[in-house]
Structure 1
Amino acid sequence: MDQASYLWVRASGHVHCVQATWVYRRDIDHGGLRRMHENLAHGLLGRRVEPSPLPGGRHRWVAWHDLPRLDVCPSAWDPSVVADWFDERAHTPVDPEFGPCWHLAVLPIENYGTAISLVASHTVVDGIGLSLAVRDAVNGIRHDFGYPPPHSRRRRRALAEDARLTARALPEVGRALGGMVKVAVQNRPSLGRRTDAATPAPRPAGDRPVTVPTAAIYLDLAEWDACAARLGGTSNVLLAGFAAKLAERFGRHRAADELVTLSYPVNDRTANDLRANALKGIDFAISPANVTTDLRGTRRHIKQALAEGLGKFADQERVFPLTPFVPKAVVRKLPLGALNAADRPVGCSNCGELDEAVTQADGTQADYFSLRMVEQNLTEKSPELVNGELFVGSGRVAGKIFLTLRSYRPGADNSRRALQDQAVSTLADFGLAGFVE
C-alpha cells in the first residue's frame, strides 16, 4: 500500500497529506515547540522513499533526519481567518521522495493565542502514525529504525539486489494475477447503482486548480457519548450515522435505494509497526433515514459489514504484489483507493482514542486539537473530484471529540461557510452542538 501511495503521487501529481492542528488560547512555550520539532525528525517522519532503479522493483525507506524550517508567521492574524491559514499550510508542498516530507508552522492570533500546523505526506505516515510520531516527539522519544542513508547503494548493486527481490516475489505475483478476477467481480458495478455516477458533472472549460473546503467541529465527549447511548449506538456508529445524514444533505445517496456508501478505513497498526499506511479499506452502505432517532439497526449492520468487508479486503491484499508493475498511465486515471470504488462514496475515518500527549505541541495541552486529511494540487478534472467528494474524520482526546470535514460538489457552493452550515444543521438533527473552527 505504501508503494501504491507513492506511485499515485508520481503518476497524478496529487499529494495526499495528513494535517494536525493545535489552537491555544494563549501564547505558547516556543522552547517546548522547538523540542517537539527537533524530535519529529527521529521517528516515523524521519524517513523518505527511495525508488528502485529497476522497473518493477520494490522501493525502500531511507533515513531522512533533515529538519524542515520551523515557520513562524511574523504578524498576527485575526481569529476569523485562522482556518484560512490552516488551508494555506495544508497546500504548502511536501514530497515523500525529495522532501520535505513534513513541515511545522506557528501563527500568532490577535487577542486570542496561537495556532500550530503540522502537515505530513500520507505516503510517509497515516493519521494514527502521525499521532504516534507527535506523541513520541512530545515525550522526547527518538527512534533509530535502522534505515540506510539515501543513495547508499551504487546503481549496479541496487539493480542486482532489487532483481533478486523481484525474482523471489514472482510466485506472489502469479497468485496475485489469479486473484485479480475475484477482486474484479467483487468491485463490478451493482445493478442498483446510479448509472450517472461515472459521468463527470459539467465543468467550465479548462482545468482550474481547486481548493476543497475544510472545517472542524469540537464537541464535548460526554455529550457525544450520551447521544450515542441514547440512540442505541456507540461512538463509532454515531460517527457513521452523522456521515450518512450529512451525505444525504449533499445528495450523495444512491438513487435506487437511498443508501449512503461509506468508505471506511480500518486501522490495524501494531506495536513497532513501520508501515506508513497501516489500513484496511472497506465499503458498506447504510440508510440515513432513521439514524437521528435509532442507531440499533445501523449498529448491527455495521458490525456485519465490517466482518464481511475485512474478508473481502484479504482478497484485495493478494493483488498488492502487482503494484510495482502497474503502468503510470493506468494509475493516473484512477483515484487512490480505486479497488474499493463505489458510487459517490463518503470517506469516514475514525482515529478513536488518542494519547493526550498529542495535544501538547509545546509541552502543555492545547485548547483544540484535530487531525484531518488534506490533498494538494487538485484540479477540476482530478479523478477524486469529478463526482464530488465528502470526507468525515474523527478522534477522541482530552475530553473532546473532533469532527474534521472536507467537501466538494462540482458547480455548487464550495465555501467553508456552506460546509459548516450543513454540518452544524446535521449535528442539530442529533441534538448536538459544538465549537466550529
Structure 2
Amino acid sequence: MTGVDSTLAYIDQGSFLGLRALGRGPLAQYGWVYEHPVDLDGLRRFHHNLGRGLLGRRIERSALPFGRDHWVAWTGPDDLDLAETPRPFDGILDWFDEQLRIPIDPEAGPSWRLAVQPLIEGGAAVTLIGSHSVCDGLALNLAIKQAASGETWDLGYPPPNARTRGQALRQDAAEFVRAVPDFAKAIAAAARLAKSSLGEFKSSAGRSTPPSKIDDTALVTVPSMVAYFDEDQWQSRMESLGGTSNSLFAGIAAALGQVFGRVDDDGKVRLQFPVSERTEGDTRANALSGMTVMIDPAGVTTSLQGVRAELKRSLAALSESTFDLLGPVALAPLIPPGLARGLEGMALGAGAPVGCSNLGKLGAPVNRPDGTDADYLLLRQIESRTTPEILDRLGGTLFLASGQVNGLVSVSVAAWRPGGPNTKELLTGPVFQVFSDFGLTPTKVL
C-alpha cells in the first residue's frame, strides 16, 4: 500500500487536544474470556499484527504550537503483558478494571496494549485497550478483525523524529497556510452552531472541569457489569415487542436512564449514539459523528414501536445535524487548552445524556484473538484518569455498549450517580430489574 498523508484529520486533532487539555480521555476496551486453554503463540501473532494495522501508530507533535500534529509509525509494546499468577474466574471483571488504570498515551506510548490473565479454573482473560485518539470503536474492531485474520496494513507513516526541526517548521507552516480556507468555513459554522445552541451551551457549560492536576491517588473506575444473552432469546424479545436489535438496546438504555434519574423536564431520556462514517481505506482514528435520540421511557418494556420510529427519524435527519456539529472541527488546532476545557460540558450535551454504542453483529474473527473462539466477548468505553470529583461535576455518567458474536449478545453497563454511593453491588440490582422488565434473563454475568 502506498503511503498516506500523516497529518491528523481535524476530528482526530480535536480528540488529542481535548485529551491534553483535560488530562484524561476515553479508552476503548475489548475483552475475551476463554474457558479453555489459550494459544499464547497465537496471541503473540495477533499482537504482532495489531502493530501493523490501524493501531500501528502514535502521535508526534507539530513543530508549531498552532499546527496540526502528525502520525508516526509505532508497532506497539515489545510483547503482550502476561500475568504470572492465575486468578479465579469469579470477579474477573475486577481484572479488566485494573487494566484500564494502567497508563495509555497516544503520544508518549503505549497508545494501546494487550494483556493476558491466566485463570485458576483453566483458560484465560485477554484484553485490548486503546486510546480513543488512535482508534474509535469500529476502527478498533477493524484492527482486531484484520489482525486475527493474519492481515497487516502498511499505512506508510514515517518513523518517529524522521523530520529535522527545519523541515518540520517549513512543512507545518505550509500546511497551516493551506488550511486557512478551512478555518474561514469553520468560523462560519461555529457561529451558526453557537446561535442555534446558545441555551444548551449555557445549561451545560457549568459542568466543565476547571484546570487542575488530577490526584492519582483518587482515581476510580466507573462501576460496571457485563451481561450475556442467548441470541435466540434476544431475537424473540425484540420481535415480540415490535422492535429491532438496535431499538431493544435503545429501549434498555432509556429504561436505565429513567432508573438512574437521567431524564429531562418532560420525562424523556437523551440517548447519544456514535454514527460511523468510516469508508473503505479510511485511516482516521475517529471517523464518526453523533446522533441524539429523545426517548420516552414509559411503555418501552411493552412496545418498542415508538423507540424504533424515533431512531428512524433521527437517522433521517442525521446529515444536517452532522454538518452542524462537525463544521467547526477545523478550528481544533487553534483552540487553547483553557477553552477546550470550557467546551467539555457542551460536548457532553445538555441535561444528563446516556451514552450508547451498539456495534451489532461482529465478524467471527473479532472473537478469535488466539485463533479460537472465546467464550465471552466484552466491549466497553471507559473514561481514563477520572476521579469522583470530576464525575460528580460532570453530572455522573451512564454508558451502554453492545455487540453480538458466537451466539451471544453482550451488554455492558457503566454508571456513576453524582454524590454516590457508587459500587458494582448497587449497580447490578437496578440493571437486573430492567432486564427482567424486558423479559430478558442473562445466561452469564461478569
TM-score range, shorter chain: over 0.9
2:105 pairs with 1:95: yes
Where does structure 1 lack aligned partners over 5 or more consecutive residues?
201-205
CA–CA distance in structure 2, aligned partners of residues 369 and 113 of structure 1:
14
Tell me if the contact between 1:387 and 1:410 (Cα under 8 Å) persists in the aligned partners.
yes
CA distance in 2, matches of 1:221, 1:310: 32
CA deviation after TM superposition for structure 1 residue 151, in Å: 1.0
Counterpart in 2 of 1:335?
344
Letter in 2 for 1:362: D
| C-alpha distance 88-383 of structure 1, shift in aligned 2 (>3 A) | closer
CA RMSD of aligned residues (A): 2.1
Query: In structure 1, what is the equivalent of residue 3 of structure 2?
Result: none
Question: Are the structure 2 counterparts of residues 275 and 393 from structure 1 closer, same or farther at C-alpha, using a change threshold of 3 Å?
Answer: same
Structure 1 residues 197 and 220, CA gap change in structure 2 (3 angstroms): farther
Structure 1 residue 300 corresponds to structure 2 residue 313: no
> Which residue number in structure 1 is paired with residue 273 of structure 2?
264
* SS across alignment from 1:228: helix
Paired with 1:229 and 1:190, the residues of 2 have a C-alpha distance of 37
Question: What is the aligned partner in structure 2 of residue 350 from structure 1?
Answer: 358
Residues in 2 aligned to 1:230 and 1:66: alpha-carbon distance in whole angstroms? 46
Query: For each residue in 1:106-133, what CA deviation from the matched residue of structure 2 results, as whole angstroms up to 9, or x when unmatched?
Result: 1111224211111111110011111111
1:211-247 CA-to-partner distances (Å, cap 9, x unmatched) read 2112111111221122111111111111111000011
Q: How much has 1:420 moved relative to structure 2?
A: 2.1
Matches within 5 A, 1:227-246: 227-246=237-256
Structure 2, unmatched stretches of 5+, are: 1-10, 209-213
Tell me the distance in 1 between the aligned counterparts of 2:339 and 2:159: 32
Q: What residue number does 1:11 align with? A: 21
Are 1:363 and 2:371 an aligned pair? yes
**Is 1:226 the equivalent of 2:236?**
yes
> Counterpart amino acid of 2:223?
P
Q: How does 1:29-428 map to 2 (within 5 A)?
A: 29-189=39-199, 198=206, 208-254=218-264, 256-335=265-344, 338-339=346-347, 341-382=349-390, 386-428=394-436
Identical aligned pairs, as a percentage?
41
Deviations 1:23-47 (A, max 9, x none): 0112211111111111111011100
What is the CA-CA distance between 1:339 and the residue it aligns to?
3.8
TM-score (norm 2): 0.91
Aligned-pair CA distance for 1:381: 3.4
Distance (whole Å) between structure 2 residues aligned to residue 209 and residue 398 of structure 1 = 35
TM-score, length-normalised on structure 1? 0.93
CA shift digits 1:141-195 (9 cap, x unpaired) = 111111111111111111111111111111111121111122113333369x9x7
Contact 2:227 2:412 in 1 (8 A): yes
Equivalent-residue separation in structure 2 for 1:212 and 1:300 (angstroms): 32
**Distance change >3 Å, CA 196–CA 182, structure 1 → 2:** closer
**1-structure distance, mates of 2:362, 2:76:** 27
Aligned length: 429
User: Which ranges of 4 or more aligned residues in structure 1 deviate by more than 6 Å?
Assistant: none
**SS where residue 104 of structure 1 aligns?**
strand
The residue aligned with 2:439 is 431
Mapped partners of 1:284, 1:134: distance in 2: 29
Q: Using the alignment, how far apart are the partners of 1:351 and 1:198 within structure 2?
A: 32
Per the alignment, do residues 418 and 52 of structure 1 end up closer, same or farther by CA in structure 2, a change over 3 Å counting? same
CA deviation after TM superposition for structure 1 residue 311, in Å: 1.4
In 2, Cα distance between equivalents of 1:374 and 1:233: 28
Q: CA deviation at 1:197?
A: 9.7
* Higher mean C-alpha deviation, range 409-418 or range 364-373: 409-418
Secondary structure (helix, strand or coil) at the match of 1:373 reads: strand
- Cα deviation for residue 249 of structure 1 reads 0.6
Contact 1:283 1:342 in 2 (8 A): no
Instruction: Tell me the distance in 1 between the aligned counterparts of 2:169 and 2:326.
Output: 26
Q: Which amino acid aligns with 1:367?
A: D
- Tell me, what secondary structure is at the counterpart of 2:91? helix
Q: Determine helix, strand or coil for the equivalent of 2:198.
A: coil
Q: Report the CA distance between 1:384 and its aligned residue.
A: 7.9
- SS at the partner of 1:232? coil
Q: Using the TM superposition, name which of 376-385 and 350-359 deviates more.
A: 376-385
Amino acid in the other structure paired with 1:328: P
